[in-house]
A and B are shown apart, each in its own frame.
Chain A
Amino acid sequence: MVKDLLSVRHLNVGFDHQFGHTAVIDDVSFSIEKGETLCIVGESGCGKSLTSLSIMGLLPKGGRITDGKILFQDHDISHKTTKELSKIRGKEISMIFQEPMTALNPLHTVGHQIAEVLLAHEKVSRNEANQKAVEMLKLVGIPSPEKRFKQYPHELSGGMRQRVMIAMALICKPDLLIADEPTTALDVTIQAQILELIQELKNKFGMSLLLITHDLGVVSETADKVIVMYAGQVVESSETKELFTHPKHPYTQGLIKSIPKMDEDEEELATIKGTVPSPDEMPEGCRFVTRCPFAKDICHQKKPPIVNVGHEVHCWLYSDDNVKGGIPLVDNV
C-alpha cells in the first residue's frame, strides 16, 4: 500500500450560530499520495472550499470539525491549536486563495510578505529571506523581480498578485499545496498561465496538489484523481480519465454534459434543473434526489451506499439490490 501524504477520513464540519448548529460537510473522505493531484469539484456551496479550509484549520467563524480525522503524514491535525498548526501552515501545507486582490495585505510590500513566510519557519536572516523572496518572484515568472519586490499589492495586476501568492506559498517548499479556485477571479487569458505555472512548480518541487474548482475543464487538464461533491457530500470519486469516460452518478453526468464543447454546435447547454437544497432542509436520503431524473423511492428514504463500479459512486442506482430489482443502469455518455 502506498503511503498517503494526506488522508481525510469521515470529515464532518458544521457551524454554530444563533439558532443552533448546522451540519455542512457530511462524511467526506479522500486521500492524496505524494506527488499526486487531486481535484475537488462541485458547484458553489457544495462544501469544497470548507473542506480545504478544515485541513488548514482556517474555518470561518463558528465553523468546527464535529467528527472525523485529517491525517497529514500520519498525524491527526484536525484538532490542533493555532500554535501547533502554525508550524505546519506555510511550511508543510500551503494554500492559495481565490481572490488575489484581497488576500494580500495592502500595507506591506509583496517582497516583505513573501520573505515573512521564510522568517516564520526557518532560521534565516532578513537579508537571506529577502534574497530568497526575489528568487521566488523570478521563479513564478514575475519580470524584474527586484523592482517588484519593493512594490505594494495595489501596484500589481490580478495575475501578478496570484503569482505572488504562489511564491509565498512555495517559498518553504511545502509537501502539499492547496489551491482554492486559484484562477476563478482572474481574466480568462491569465487563467491558463496560472494553472500551467502551478503544474510546473508542482512537478519541480515534487509536491502534492489539492485543487478546488468548479471548472471541469481545469479538472481534466490537471487532476490525477477527482472527488465530486454535492451539498456537502462526496457523490463520486475516481481517476480522472475514468470519470470523464464513465461518469456514473447522475450529478456527475449532468456536470459533464453541461461543459460547452468546442467541436459541437449545440443550440443550448444542458443544465441540471433545480437548485441545491439549503443545509437546513436536506432531504432524508440522497441529497441529490430533488434534482435527480432517475430518483426512486429508496433514494428519498435512505442515504445511498458506496458502490464500486470500477471507481466509487454514492448512488442507489448501482447498488446490488437495485440491479437485481431490474432497474436499468444509467450509462449514457
Chain B
Amino acid sequence: MLYYIARRLVLMIGILFLVSVLVFVLINVIPGDPATLMLGQEATAGARAALRQSLGLNDPLYIQYLHWVGGVLHGNLGYSLADHTPVMSILLNKIPVTLELTILSFLIAVAIAIPVGIISAIRKGTAWDYVTTVFALSGVSIPAFWLGILLIYLFSVTLGWLPPSGYVSLTDNPVKSIVLMIMPSISLGIRLSAQLTRMLRSSLLEVMEADYIRTGYAKGLMEKAVVFKHALRNAMLPVLTVSGLELSAFLGGAVITETIFAVPGLGQLIVNAILTRDFPIVQGAILFIAFAVVFVNFLVDIAYSLLDPRISLGGASK
C-alpha cells in the first residue's frame, strides 16, 4: 500500500514538473516578444526594455525557467502587471469561490447521476431508460453557456425566482451564497452528471452480468441488497476514474460558467487576465488548476486502491 502510494507520488511529481514546463513554454516561448505581448503593441520601446529587464527576459530560457520555478516553490507566482499585487494573494482570494462552485456542481452531478444511472441500468429497455438516454445525450451536448442563459431567462427574467448573477461569500451569508450558486452549479454540473450517468449505467450493466451477482441472488439476497451491496461498489470503480479524468474539463467549464453568472472565481480571473494580457496571473492560475487536476487524480488513484483490495497488494506481490 505504502509502496503503491510512493510510486504514485513519484509519478505525480514527474507530471507536475512537466506541467510547470508546459505552462512556462506556453507563455514564454510563443513566437514574439513576451514584453510586447504583455504590454501590447502600443507600449514604448523603453517600457518594453524595462519590463524585459525586470522579468529577467534577457537571461537564457532555462535560467528563466529555474528562476520562475524557484519562485513557485517558495509560493511566489509573480506579480500582476496591472497593479503589482502578488499573483498568489489574488489566487487565494479567488480559489474559495471556484471551490464552492465546483463542489456544489459536483454534488448536483452526483446526486443526479447515481440514482438515475442505477434505475436506468436496472430497468434497462423501459421508457425510463430511454428518458435517461436522451438526458445523457442532451447533457453532454448542450453548451454550458446556452444552458446558463436559458436558466437565467427562465428563472430570473421570466419567473423572477433567482437573481441572474452575482456572488456572496459563503461565510458572509451562507443562504444567499447558496441561492446565488444554484443556477451556476446546475449549468456547470449538468454535463458531468450526464457523463457520470452514462458511465454508471454501462458499468452497472456490465457488473450485473458478473458471476458474483448471480451468487448474490443464489444466496437469497433481495434485489436491493444485490444492487447496493454487490453491484454498485464494483460499478463505481470505473466511474470514479472517469470523474477524476473529467475534472480538468469540469474546471474548464467553470471558466464559462463564472463568466455567464459573474461569479468572481478563478475562471473569471483567467478570462479577464487573458483579455487584459495580464500574463503572470494567467500563468499562475493555469499552473494552480493543472496542479489541482493532477493532485485530485492522485487522490482518486489512492481512493481506488482503497476501494479495490486487488490493487493495494498489486505492485509488490503479483
Instruction: Please give the residue numbers on chain A whose beta carbons come within 8 Å of chain B beta carbons, in ascending order.
Output: 56, 58, 82-83, 85-91, 94-95, 97, 99, 102-108, 116-117, 120-121, 152, 154-155, 165, 168
Complex Cα distance, B216 from A102, in Å, reads 12
- Residues A104 and B307 in contact, CB atoms below 8 Å apart: no
- Residues B220 and A99 in contact, CB atoms below 8 Å apart: no
- Residues B217 and A82 in contact, CB atoms below 8 Å apart: yes
Q: In the assembled complex, which residues on chain B have CB atoms less than 8 Å from the CB atom of A117?
A: 219-220
Complex Cα distance, B229 from A95, in Å, reads 20
- Residues A89 and B212 in contact, CB atoms below 8 Å apart: no
CB-CB nearest in chain A for B211: A102
Q: In the assembled complex, which residues on chain A have CB atoms less than 8 Å from the CB atom of B221?
A: 86, 90, 116, 120
Given contacts A58-B217, A86-B222, A116-B219, contact A106 B313 (CB under 8 A): no
Complex Cα distance, B211 from A106, in Å, reads 11
CB of B234 within 8 A of chain A? yes
- Residues B309 and A152 in contact, CB atoms below 8 Å apart: yes
CB-CB nearest in chain A for B309: A152
CB of B233 within 8 A of chain A? yes
Instruction: Give, as a whole number of angstroms, the nearest-CB distance from B94 to chain A.
Output: 39
Q: In the assembled complex, which residues on chain A have CB atoms less than 8 Å from the CB atom of B214?
A: 58, 97, 103
Instruction: Give, as a whole number of angstroms, the nearest-CB distance from B126 to chain A.
Output: 14
Complex Cα distance, B210 from A117, in Å, reads 19
Q: In the assembled complex, which residues on chain A have CB atoms less than 8 Å from the CB atom of B220?
A: 85-91, 117, 120-121
The main secondary structure of chain B at its interface with chain A is: helix
5 contacts between A and B (CB under 8 A): A90-B218, A90-B221, A107-B233, A107-B307, A108-B229
Interface centre among B210, B220, B225, B233 (most CB of A within 10 A): B220
Interface centre among A58, A104, A106, A107 (most CB of B within 10 A): A107
Instruction: Give, as a whole number of angstroms, the nearest-CB distance from B84 to chain A.
Output: 54
**Interface digits, B151-183 against A, CB 8 Å rule (1 contact, 0 not)?**
000000000000000000000000000000000
CB of B310 within 8 A of chain A? yes
Given contacts A97-B214, A117-B219, A155-B313, contact A106 B234 (CB under 8 A): yes
Instruction: Please give the residue numbers on chain B whose beta carbons come within 8 Å of chain A beta carbons, in ascending order.
Output: 210-212, 214-223, 225, 229-230, 233-234, 307-310, 313
Instruction: Give, as a whole number of angstroms, the nearest-CB distance from A218 to chain B.
Output: 21
Q: In the assembled complex, which residues on chain B have CB atoms less than 8 Å from the CB atom of A102?
A: 210-212
Given contacts A58-B217, A90-B219, contact A107 B313 (CB under 8 A): no
Complex Cα distance, B221 from A83, in Å, reads 9
Instruction: Give, as a whole number of angstroms, the nearest-CB distance from A54 to chain B.
Output: 13
CB-CB nearest in chain B for A86: B220
Q: In the assembled complex, which residues on chain B have CB atoms less than 8 Å from the CB atom of A165?
A: 215
Other than A86-B220, A90-B218, A97-B215, give 13 A-B pairs with Cβ distance below 8 A. Answer: A56-B217, A56-B218, A58-B214, A88-B220, A89-B218, A97-B214, A103-B215, A106-B234, A106-B308, A107-B234, A107-B307, A117-B219, A154-B313
Complex Cα distance, B223 from A87, in Å, reads 12
Complex Cα distance, B234 from A108, in Å, reads 10
Complex Cα distance, B242 from A212, in Å, reads 42
- Residues B217 and A107 in contact, CB atoms below 8 Å apart: no
Q: In the assembled complex, which residues on chain A have CB atoms less than 8 Å from the CB atom of B308?
A: 106-107
Q: In the assembled complex, which residues on chain B have CB atoms less than 8 Å from the CB atom of A103?
A: 211-212, 214-215
Complex Cα distance, B218 from A90, in Å, reads 6
